[in-house]
Structure 1
Amino acid sequence: MPIGHARQRSVLAVLLLEANRVVSVDGLLDRVWGERPPSQARSVLRTYVSRLRRALVPIGVTITRRDSGYVLAAEPGTVDVHRFHRLLALARETGDPRQALALVENAMALWRGEPLAGLQTSWAHAVRERLRHERFAAETDQIDWRLQHGLHSELLPELTVRAAVHPLDERVAGQFMLALYRSGRQADALEHYQRVRTRLVDDLGTDPGPRLQRLHEQILQADPELTVPADTETESVAPSPVPRQLPMAPRSFTGRTDELAALTAALDTAPADQGAAVLVSAIGGAGGIGKTWLALHWAHHNADRFPDGQLFVDLHGFSPTNRPVEPDDAVRGFLTALGVAPDRIADDLDAKAALYRSLVAGKRMLVVLDNAATTDQVAPLLPGTPTCTVLVTGRTRLASLIDRYGARHVQLDVLTADEARVLLTGRLGAERVAAEPDATDDLIDLCGRYPLALSIVTRHAHTRPHVPLAEFAAELRELGLDMLDHHDDPAASLPTVLSWSLHGLTAEQRTMFALLGITPGSDTTLPAVVSLTCLPPARAHRALSALEEASLIERRPHGRYAMHDLVRDYAATTAHTTLPDDVREAALVRVMDFYLHTAHTADRLLNSHRPLVQLDPPAPGVHPHPLLDAASAMAWLDAEHATLLVTQRAAVALGRHHVVWHLAWTLDAFYRRRGHRRDALAAWRAALDAAAHLPDPTTRIHAHRNLGHACSRLGLHEDATGHLDRALALAVRHRDATEQAYTHRTLAAAWGERGDDRRALDHARHALDLHRTLDLPVREADAINAVGWFAARLGEFDTARDHCRAALTMHRHHHNLDGEAHSLGNLGYIAHNTGRYHQALAYYRQSIDLLRRSGDTYYEALAQDWTGQTHAALGRHAQARKVWREALKLYRQQGRDTDAERMQRQLDALEDS
């Protein structure tokens, strides 16, 4: 935790020493600066405290102003000095030397360097002196308890030094004499007594105290009481039991190669000098994803690396009991497994944890903590020695375990398709799987490669060996989650297992989870969730983080959140069973309006010359995503393309006909530029159905016209001209000259697609004649360009050139990049076909540049195609090959198979030439 300035750290040290007690401002100034406070000291102190508040927030420590001072609120156990005092008090209170020794050893391990280093005030000197005395007393107690355990031989070197440094301390002298005597050095013990007695008489004028005199008499008489108690000797040499608590390894475990390698690598690469650190690998993932299986599989395959045993506990962090195992109970279980008699286990958790760490210190043991809910549940179970390894599984990410203990996190996802097939084969047999490969693929897809779902399905199939796998696939397709439920065995029911993840969530988080199950699209973003839930952004983000922490959603790049399909199905079920109809519908209305109004903004940025279609205001609580320019608009449409399609289908289901129609209209230009031809077809078919429910007849004209254009692009020529003829008839009936002009221009494009360029030119001229009566200069320029194009197709190049140049001038005047790009492309085509190849390349380069700026990859493919033809005509095969490859890639991306095949043939011809 970065705290910054040294004096700022000193302020923190003072407040920590006085945790939960008010320290006056004057007291703080005196303790930190002494007699030389800085100018404006109180202002400086306020600044330091303000910075400390911000730095301490992430770990849950607060500093508040109270009366005339400040108080730092913290659990005493989180501050080393207070924890030291608590552990020492517990050690002195217990009557068990073994527990006392474990507690004092943990207390002494908290000392790191000089207390209050760098702080040179009289208060700091006094505190340091007091703490030194407390440490010395603790060390002396520790020696007593170690002597009671018969550790006199290993204590002799330390006691020799202590006796020399503290020659007048009678307690130290007694400990040294006892250690000498028990080590068979009675004469040395008696000699040391005489030295101490002489020094006391000479320096202080007094004899040794009664305790030291009695010890001297006992040594003279070789009193049997001075020997190590027999039970202690027996206990010190009796072998400790070696626990082997791992449950049976899963027999059908498959895959997870990378994750297993990550666990092994974490162990192999752990530094040898970690001090008190423990290698911890936290395995996270959703319920039923296979965390326990992974941990047990790895543990069994690496058991030989832990000769001192393996401890295992299911902490029930997520289980039907809704009661996680208390750390106190878990530690007690470990102590019992390590051979500690129940009557020797203290009641205090700190005492139990200290004894546990002492018993495993230096041992090569594996500790598996399965199904953990929180770091607080895990922390007391962590050994204090680098020789132990800990595996923790849980549905939450246990972030503070990573922050505080350096845990290596391993996140589990679903199986790969190959791994899922191996799992099915292992359980059902190779012959049965090979006999029905298509049904096997269906089962894998329907289960979403989710391990528990696959296990449930294979259980159904295994217990019914004569039923074809295809029947189980059909049943799963029809029943969905219901087939993956098991009312008698909660652990074998995917919905039940997933439900356990909701127990730790707040009502707001559970509502968000349910709504995410019904929101359109396979993934979503924070701005969409804000409108879906009607929550402020900060609260929505916290709720999303909580769901991610619970492994119910996954955070993906670019701020997107996704659910596994089966988790989404469960969330949708939760929405329908826990949320009222009006709440669900209101949320759907809001998220649909979010997408519609954001898409409308994007369309305006991309098509400022397009006729404006007004939308109804969005529902209350909707905040459309702000888009700054055409580039951000195109990026947003690309990212949300799939979701927008699903949103339109959801609007159809909800009967929101105006949303259906407006989404088709708003997205039409995007679909055209990106070559999403089938999406445009589906969108306008839905819009045509919706238009029948809308009062404005123009909506039906638009729908027929744009649906006709979508059909034309896909080669559905009869359908295309049928819709366009109906659009024209409606426009004539309603005397709508604008729509007549647009429809004639679209008919020109449709007949051009059919190869009838003469008929196309007639429609283009009709469109131009009508546009010249309207005040729509950009659309008039489009019509002029269309006349030029079809004239060029018919070989009338002078007429074509004049019209396309006129169109280019008009588009540039009105800053219409789309029209300018298309006019330049047509002029390049004309130049190429009249032998002006270099001029053609110049036109194409300008056209491609503008098309890329506007994101029009559909026409860019054609422009690259034409550019390659010109290079080929000039004999520049390398350049032709380069641009044709680019065109081929775009054609394939857009599903333009005929053009892609033609392009591949041209490339092959170049290779052969």
Structure 2
Amino acid sequence: MHYRILGPVRVWRGDTELTLGPPKQQALLALLLARAGQLLTPQEVIDALWEEPPGSAVNVVHRHVGALRRLLEPELPSRADARRLLRGAGGYRLPAGPGELDLLRFRSLREDAHRATAAGDRARGVDLLVDALAMWGGPAGTGLAPRVAAHPLFTALNQEYLATVKEAADAALVTDHAHGERVLALLHQAVHHYPFDEALHARLVTVLAALGRQAEALAVHESVRARLAGELGVDPGPELRAAHERVLRQAVPVPLAVPAPSPVPAPVTTAGEQDRTTTAERPAPQLLPAQLPSDIATFAGRRAELALSGSLLDARPEAEPGNTTPAIAAISGMAGVGKTTLAVHWAHEVAHRFPDGQLFVNLRGFHPTMEPPAAPDVMREVVSALGVPPQRVPDDPEALPAFYRSLLAPRRLLILLDNARDSEQVRPLLPGAPGSLTLITSRHRLDGLAVTHTVRFIGLEVLSLAEGVEFLTRRLGAERLAAEPAAAEAIVELCGHLPLALAIVAARALLNPRFALETVADELRAARGSLDAFTSSDAQVDARSVFSWSCHGLSEAAKRLFRLIGGAHSGPELSVAAAASLAGVPAGDARRQLGELLDRGLLTEDAPGRFSCHELLRALARELSFDRDDEGVRVRARRRLFEHYLHTAHAADALLAPYRDRVPVRPPGEGVVPETLTGERQAAQWLYRQRQVLLAAVEGAALDGGAGDGLCWRLAATLELFLDRAGRWDEQRGIQELALSAARRDGDTTGEAYALRALGFAYHRLGRNAESHETLTRALARFADAGDPHGAHGRATAHRSLAFLSNGTGDHVRALEHYRLASALYDTSGHRTGAAAVLNEIGWTHILTGAYEQALDDCGKAVLLHQENGNRNGEAAAWDSVGYARHHRGEFPEALAAYDRALALYRAVGDLSLQADTLTHIGDSHEGAGSQAAATAAWREAAELFEHLGHPDARQVRDRLARPAAPESADDAPGGRG
């Protein structure tokens, strides 16, 4: 078989050219060929073929795949496995080698050209590039529907073609006249297809002039200038203008030879000093600098970052008259995230736009043994690369920067400053005039440059799951990953999506092709929590070494905090106050230390004041802590941190439910810095945001034992109401079981009672009613054993929980008896808010039995009592009950009025779950009143809130939206607790 995609898509079997069928079938084949043997998903095909896919799109694609299989393998028996067009995990691919597919042959010739040039044989390099370009029969996608021809796959192939033409033109300028003539024909062909590509026309002008055809070169410039003005209304850009200027000043030698560099400025001299440079000392014409490291052929992902980077040049300010702003991009991120890889890849993509060459400088900002170079040394290195002899470079340190900037000013250079230490190291090296592009990489964020320069900042994160799989696919091959897709995804997750870790693991898998990917994943699982799986004899790619370099130069206090984050903090993120508690220092000191870690890429700031640490960096921190800190240091740090979360959660709970019975806590210990919460809304937001951290703190305190047991059950008790209302009932069960064990170890009867009560209620939420009844009954007994002051209130709440359970199982008589006992306990202790809550819950029980008049009387009294007590949450619950009773009496306007009051109060206190619960009731009443549109709007808002919380009630609301139902029956239990 022979396939062509470079131009119109064509296929031959032997000497016979095949008829490729209808347009969409041809387009599918073209997409497969453009992928060059890589996987093409059905969704990608659908997106390419249709702007608005029909419902039958998937079936149409399947039919075209079947037709192509029969076309390519007419002898294939029915139901036999195809060899030409393969179905893999998640898509299709058409395997072909360089001898079959022109695209692969083109790329192979281009790689051979690069090798020849690197070996010093420039003439052969040009010959091979010309041979590669001879394979093109026009733009890829020619003949396809315009929508398909504009697909990114074909656009990318055309960009490969253009880049190769420009590469051949640049290479021909340093060979001879014959090669220049060969490339000239290719340039004429290319500008015919791409009449507005200024970089292409600039090379055509330059090559014509180098061949001694200056008049023709000037005619080409005038032609494209007129076309740009007439059709686009713009003037030629800097690159085309520069080519024109070189022709005018005869800076391109004839016959064709090496282009002369731009004039070197004279050194800055002091008064009375003469420039002693002789003509013999002036630099001779030489090769343009091309210092970029080689690009990585297996580069994967980063499309969003490349698009962001490309926009910097697409709207480059130096093209605007009077604008003197240089183009600068700074890429920052943690060690191993792929900053240099991205910068080098992007630099190679845009290098053709900078005709005066590319410079690469390793600033060694985080080198383990070598000091970063001083700015004057870097300047001399750059000046030398541009062909200036040492005797022309001023020795005066004040004159050197001016000379350096003057040398760069007239040139269009691409400058890559890699591995910068900080803004101060970079600032003196930046060009002062437009025309050049400077790329900077650093583990620091380089915030200081934002003050003095216009910089495009790109914060590089770890790869997405899809990008990580693409990364492995490009290194290990599509077939190997298609055979074990789940293992590939597991490897990405176990590597923390970090490119360095993925590269190390991929290298191991590549060197051991018989290893199953699942075996590799198992090794990573076994080593999880350490860096042992990411070691290498090469320190440049050893994760432990690379990460450790980020710690050099940190203050001792910042190093200690970093170690404690790994050794004593188990949650996914921490705040300034949490870090202060962890380290036992004031908040101001913690903020400065976090700033140091953030600058070095050892932490990321996910939101203002919220910091997280990549799991592999956390593994390094843990290793450092166990190496340098004794266990006592870590234990004390953990205890301070657990106290921080306990006291902050306690304050949040007090703001949200100020009148409920809660566990007592001692004052914060030395070095503990709780968060400052100023209102109900902030308290609710803090609890929702820190949920995972708080759960980790409960688990950590349980693992610590000893004094940690008391912290464990107290924190679990404090989180009880929050987790219940958020619908996190399985999480509730988990931490309350830990709390129960901790309280028993601690011999604390009160703690055991609180844990049993919360655990019993969680069992009911999860449908485990028998266990719920048994556990709540035990809680009653343990509260009785605990005695006052907490025993009476605890027993009252346990009775309310048993009543809720009884209502849920339809035993309303028993529920009312439990409420009678709870009410008596509250009356005896003078707990007015508890009594009001019970009154509302008694009213709700009457709703469930159909006694709506009695319910309205009880719930109305509860509203008044809560108003007297100032309990807005309790008042909202009572208004919701009033609305529910009105709804079941068919009094929908009155029900909606009550619900609106409940909703306003819940919004004021920031209780999202009960807002959603009341919105669900509002939707039901609107539906009952015949207003389906209003019902749908309320249910949609409720569903969105429940889904935001991950609440299981979201499903019930979505069912209402999908199949509008009659008003809910009176057997339903309330969504919240009074």
Task: Identify the match of residue 246 of structure 1 among 292, 295, 298.
Answer: 292
Counterpart of 1:723 in structure 2: which amino acid?
Answer: T
Is residue 2:820 matched to residue 1:762? no
Task: Identify the match of residue 726 of structure 2 among 661, 671, 674.
Answer: 674
Q: Identity rate of aligned residues, in percent?
A: 37
Following TM superposition, by how much is the alpha carbon of 1:770 offset from its aligned partner in structure 2, in angstroms?
4.2
Counterpart of 2:561 in structure 1: which amino acid?
Answer: M
Conserved 8 A contact 2:283-2:387: no
Residue deviations 1:856-889 (CA, integer Å, cap 9, x gap):
3333333333332222222222222222223333
Larger Cα-atom Rg:
1
Of residues 703-712 and 729-738 in structure 1, the stretch that sits farther from structure 2 once superposed is 729-738
- Cα distance change of structure 1 residues 398 and 907 upon mapping to structure 2, 3 Å threshold: closer
Conserved 8 A contact 1:102-1:358: no
Task: Identify the match of residue 342 of structure 2 among 271, 277, 294.
Answer: 294
Report what 1:608 is aligned to: 658
Residue segments in structure 2 that go unaligned for 5+ positions in a row: 1-262, 968-978
- Cα distance change of structure 1 residues 506 and 607 upon mapping to structure 2, 3 Å threshold: same
Of residues 868-877 and 852-861 in structure 1, the stretch that sits farther from structure 2 once superposed is 852-861
Report what 1:5 is aligned to: none
Task: Identify the match of residue 643 of structure 2 among 593, 606, 624.
Answer: 593
- Cα distance change of structure 1 residues 668 and 366 upon mapping to structure 2, 3 Å threshold: same
Report what 1:478 is aligned to: 526
- Cα distance change of structure 1 residues 731 and 362 upon mapping to structure 2, 3 Å threshold: closer
- Cα distance change of structure 1 residues 240 and 621 upon mapping to structure 2, 3 Å threshold: same
Counterpart of 1:102 in structure 2: which amino acid?
Answer: P
- Cα distance change of structure 1 residues 886 and 377 upon mapping to structure 2, 3 Å threshold: closer
Map 1:433-472 → 2, pairs under 5 A: 433-472=481-520
Of residues 530-539 and 548-557 in structure 1, the stretch that sits farther from structure 2 once superposed is 530-539
Task: Identify the match of residue 373 of structure 1 among 421, 433, 448.
Answer: 421
- Cα distance change of structure 1 residues 731 and 543 upon mapping to structure 2, 3 Å threshold: closer
For 1:895 and 1:237, the matched residues in 2 are separated by 70
Report what 2:889 is aligned to: 834
Map 1:22-61 → 2, pairs under 5 A: none
Of residues 530-539 and 371-380 in structure 1, the stretch that sits farther from structure 2 once superposed is 371-380
For 2:558 and 2:669, the matched residues in 1 are separated by 22
Report what 1:75 is aligned to: none
Conserved 8 A contact 1:884-1:903: yes
Report what 1:904 is aligned to: 958
Report what 1:858 is aligned to: 913
- Cα distance change of structure 1 residues 347 and 787 upon mapping to structure 2, 3 Å threshold: same
Counterpart of 1:768 in structure 2: which amino acid?
Answer: S
Task: Identify the match of residue 415 of structure 1 among 454, 460, 463.
Answer: 463
Following TM superposition, by how much is the alpha carbon of 1:330 offset from its aligned partner in structure 2, in angstroms?
3.3
Following TM superposition, by how much is the alpha carbon of 1:431 offset from its aligned partner in structure 2, in angstroms?
0.6
- Cα distance change of structure 1 residues 501 and 789 upon mapping to structure 2, 3 Å threshold: same
Of residues 429-438 and 316-325 in structure 1, the stretch that sits farther from structure 2 once superposed is 316-325
- Cα distance change of structure 1 residues 485 and 822 upon mapping to structure 2, 3 Å threshold: closer
Task: Identify the match of residue 270 of structure 1 among 317, 321, 330.
Answer: 317
For 2:792 and 2:690, the matched residues in 1 are separated by 35
Is residue 2:268 matched to residue 1:103? yes
Is residue 2:625 matched to residue 1:581? no
Conserved 8 A contact 2:267-2:392: no
Conserved 8 A contact 2:749-2:785: no
Following TM superposition, by how much is the alpha carbon of 1:254 offset from its aligned partner in structure 2, in angstroms?
1.7
Residue deviations 1:105-145 (CA, integer Å, cap 9, x gap):
xx7xxxxxxxxxxxxxxxxxxxxxxxxxxxxxx4xx58x53
For 2:405 and 2:792, the matched residues in 1 are separated by 88
Conserved 8 A contact 1:674-1:855: no
For 2:943 and 2:912, the matched residues in 1 are separated by 12
Of residues 623-632 and 497-506 in structure 1, the stretch that sits farther from structure 2 once superposed is 623-632
Map 1:255-654 → 2, pairs under 5 A: 255-268=301-314, 269-272=316-319, 278-341=326-389, 348-350=396-398, 353=401, 355-480=403-528, 481-517=530-566, 518-611=568-661, 613-654=663-704
Conserved 8 A contact 2:680-2:910: no
- Cα distance change of structure 1 residues 833 and 335 upon mapping to structure 2, 3 Å threshold: closer
Task: Identify the match of residue 876 of structure 1 among 919, 931, 946.
Answer: 931
For 1:237 and 1:763, the matched residues in 2 are separated by 99
- Cα distance change of structure 1 residues 840 and 246 upon mapping to structure 2, 3 Å threshold: closer
For 2:943 and 2:422, the matched residues in 1 are separated by 54
Counterpart of 2:957 in structure 1: which amino acid?
Answer: M
Counterpart of 2:268 in structure 1: which amino acid?
Answer: L
Conserved 8 A contact 1:515-1:572: yes
For 2:587 and 2:546, the matched residues in 1 are separated by 30
Conserved 8 A contact 1:658-1:694: yes
Report what 1:184 is aligned to: none
Following TM superposition, by how much is the alpha carbon of 1:776 offset from its aligned partner in structure 2, in angstroms?
2.0
For 1:469 and 1:364, the matched residues in 2 are separated by 47
Following TM superposition, by how much is the alpha carbon of 1:485 offset from its aligned partner in structure 2, in angstroms?
3.4
- Cα distance change of structure 1 residues 99 and 538 upon mapping to structure 2, 3 Å threshold: farther
Report what 2:803 is aligned to: 748
- Cα distance change of structure 1 residues 647 and 322 upon mapping to structure 2, 3 Å threshold: farther
Following TM superposition, by how much is the alpha carbon of 1:436 offset from its aligned partner in structure 2, in angstroms?
0.6
Following TM superposition, by how much is the alpha carbon of 1:278 offset from its aligned partner in structure 2, in angstroms?
4.0
For 2:919 and 2:629, the matched residues in 1 are separated by 53
For 1:368 and 1:858, the matched residues in 2 are separated by 52
Report what 1:711 is aligned to: 763
> Which secondary structure state, in structure 1, belongs to the residue aligned with residue 356 of structure 2?
coil
Report what 1:700 is aligned to: 752
For 1:867 and 1:695, the matched residues in 2 are separated by 47
- Cα distance change of structure 1 residues 103 and 359 upon mapping to structure 2, 3 Å threshold: same
Counterpart of 1:254 in structure 2: which amino acid?
Answer: A
> Which secondary structure state, in structure 1, belongs to the residue aligned with residue 608 of structure 2?
helix
Counterpart of 1:553 in structure 2: which amino acid?
Answer: L
- Cα distance change of structure 1 residues 630 and 337 upon mapping to structure 2, 3 Å threshold: closer
Residue deviations 1:576-606 (CA, integer Å, cap 9, x gap):
2222322222222222211211221222222
- Cα distance change of structure 1 residues 612 and 906 upon mapping to structure 2, 3 Å threshold: closer
Residue deviations 1:437-484 (CA, integer Å, cap 9, x gap):
111111111112211111111111111111111111111122134344
Following TM superposition, by how much is the alpha carbon of 1:748 offset from its aligned partner in structure 2, in angstroms?
0.8
- Cα distance change of structure 1 residues 908 and 385 upon mapping to structure 2, 3 Å threshold: closer
Scaled by the length of structure 1, the TM-score of the pair is 0.71
Following TM superposition, by how much is the alpha carbon of 1:745 offset from its aligned partner in structure 2, in angstroms?
1.6
For 1:912 and 1:788, the matched residues in 2 are separated by 23
For 1:683 and 1:706, the matched residues in 2 are separated by 10
Conserved 8 A contact 1:274-1:386: no
For 1:573 and 1:349, the matched residues in 2 are separated by 44
As a proportion of its length, which structure holds more helix?
1
Conserved 8 A contact 1:415-1:449: yes
For 1:415 and 1:601, the matched residues in 2 are separated by 38
Conserved 8 A contact 1:704-1:726: yes
Residue segments in structure 1 that go unaligned for 5+ positions in a row: 1-97, 108-137, 150-231
Conserved 8 A contact 1:825-1:843: yes
Of residues 330-339 and 617-626 in structure 1, the stretch that sits farther from structure 2 once superposed is 330-339
Following TM superposition, by how much is the alpha carbon of 1:234 offset from its aligned partner in structure 2, in angstroms?
4.5
For 2:898 and 2:431, the matched residues in 1 are separated by 73
Scaled by the length of structure 2, the TM-score of the pair is 0.67
Is residue 2:845 matched to residue 1:790? yes
Residue deviations 1:320-366 (CA, integer Å, cap 9, x gap):
32422344443443344333445666655555555544544422222
Aligned alpha-carbon RMSD (Å): 2.9
Following TM superposition, by how much is the alpha carbon of 1:830 offset from its aligned partner in structure 2, in angstroms?
2.2
For 2:814 and 2:323, the matched residues in 1 are separated by 86
- Cα distance change of structure 1 residues 592 and 306 upon mapping to structure 2, 3 Å threshold: same
- Cα distance change of structure 1 residues 474 and 786 upon mapping to structure 2, 3 Å threshold: same
- Cα distance change of structure 1 residues 393 and 797 upon mapping to structure 2, 3 Å threshold: closer
Conserved 8 A contact 1:674-1:856: no
- Cα distance change of structure 1 residues 619 and 290 upon mapping to structure 2, 3 Å threshold: same
- Cα distance change of structure 1 residues 341 and 684 upon mapping to structure 2, 3 Å threshold: same
For 2:341 and 2:334, the matched residues in 1 are separated by 13
> Which secondary structure state, in structure 1, belongs to the residue aligned with residue 458 of structure 2?
strand
Conserved 8 A contact 1:771-1:783: no
> Which secondary structure state, in structure 1, belongs to the residue aligned with residue 364 of structure 2?
coil
